C-alpha cells in the first residue's frame, strides 16, 4: 500500500502543530510519501512550528518512509520529531532530505531556528539516534569547509534489514565525493549526503532509493 500525506496549509509556520502516526501490520508493506516538498516559512519571534511523526512496524512488515524535501525559508522556526518502533524481523527504509533555501531565488538563511530529532528503536531498545539543534546564521555555518563547504541541501537515509550488507558496495559506487555510506551494527545501513542544491541532491538520492527499494520510487517523486 502507498499513501500520500497532504499539507492543506501549504507549509509550516510558527504556531502550527502537525502530527501523524502510521502502523504496518504483520507481513505488510507500507510506503509513505508527500505530495510535494514541505515548506517551512517565516515564524514570529516567540512561535515555532512543530511536526511529530510516529511509525510502528510489526514483525515481518516493512515501512518505506520517503517524504520529499523539506525546504527551510529565512526566519523559519521548526521543531520536528520522528520516532520509529521496529519489531523483530521488521524492515525500514527512510529518508529525510532538507534544502536550505531556494538557491534559484538567491535566498540566504541568515536567521533560523531548527531542532530535528530522529529515533529508531527495535524491541524497545534504541538502535539509531540523530539530532540537530541550530539557531542563528545557517548559511555562515554551512559555508565552513569542515561543516558543509557551502552545501545547500543534505539528506539522511537509513535502511534497516537483514539484507543491508549486500547493498553497501553498490550504494557506495553510486555516491559522489560529498556523500558516504556505512553499516551500523549488522542490519543498519546509513547514508549521508550533501549537495550544492536540491537538484543535485535528487540526482544522488534517486538511484540509491531505487537500489534499496527494489527499483521503485513513489510516483510523486517523479512528477
Provide the pLDDT confidence category of residue 181 given band limits of 50, 70 and 90.
very high
CA atoms of 49 and 35, how far apart (whole Å): 20
CA atoms of 158 and 216, how far apart (whole Å): 17
CA atoms of 3 and 189, how far apart (whole Å): 24
CA-nearest of 179, 106, 196 to 142 is: 196
pLDDT digits over 192-211, tens only? Answer: 999 999 999 999 999 999 99
The arithmetic mean of pLDDT across residues 17-39, rounded, is 96
3-state secondary structure of 106: coil
CA-nearest of 1, 63, 73, 64 to 37 is: 73
Answer yes or no: is pLDDT of 188 > 80.
yes
Provide the pLDDT confidence category of residue 78 given band limits of 50, 70 and 90.
very high
Amino acid at each position: 500500500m502507498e499513501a500520500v500525506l497532504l499539507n492543506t496549509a501549504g507549509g509550516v509556520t510558527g504556531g502550527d502543530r502537525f502530527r501523524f502516526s502510521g502502523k504496518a501490520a504483520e507481513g505488510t508493506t507500507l510506503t509513505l510519501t508527500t505530495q510535494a516538498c514541505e515548506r517551512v516559512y517565516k515564524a514570529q519571534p516567540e512561535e515555532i512550528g512543530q511536526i511529530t511523526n510516529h511509525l510502528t512496524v510489526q514483525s515481518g512488515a516493512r515501512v518505506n518512509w520517503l517524504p520529499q524535501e523539506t525546504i527551510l525559508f529565512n526566519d523559519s522556526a521548526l521543531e520536528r520529531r520522528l520516532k520509529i518502533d521496529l519489531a523483530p524481523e521488521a524492515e525500514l527504509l527512510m529518508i529525510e532530505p532538507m534544502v536550505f533555501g531556494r538557491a534559484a531565488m538567491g535566498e540566504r538563511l541568515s536567521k533560523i531556528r531548527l531542532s530535528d530529532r530522529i529515533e529508531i528503536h527495535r524491541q524497545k531498545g534504541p538502535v539509531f539516534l540523530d539530532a540537530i539543534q541550530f539557531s542563528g546564521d545557517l548559511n555562515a555555518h554551512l559555508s565552513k569547509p569542515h561543516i558543509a563547504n557551502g552545501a545547500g541541501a543534505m539528506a539522511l537515509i537509513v535502511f534497516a534489514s537483514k539484507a543491508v550488507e549486500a547493498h553497501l558496495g553498490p550504494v557506495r559506487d553510486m555516491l559522489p565525493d560529498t556523500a558516504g555510506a556505512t553499516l551500523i551494527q549488522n542490519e543498519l545501513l546509513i547514508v549521508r549526503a550533501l549537495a550544492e542544491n536540491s537538484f543535485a541532491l535528487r540526482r544522488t538520492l534517486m538511484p540509491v532509493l531505487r537500489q534499496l527499494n527494489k527499483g521503485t520510487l513513489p510516483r510523486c517523486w517523479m512528477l
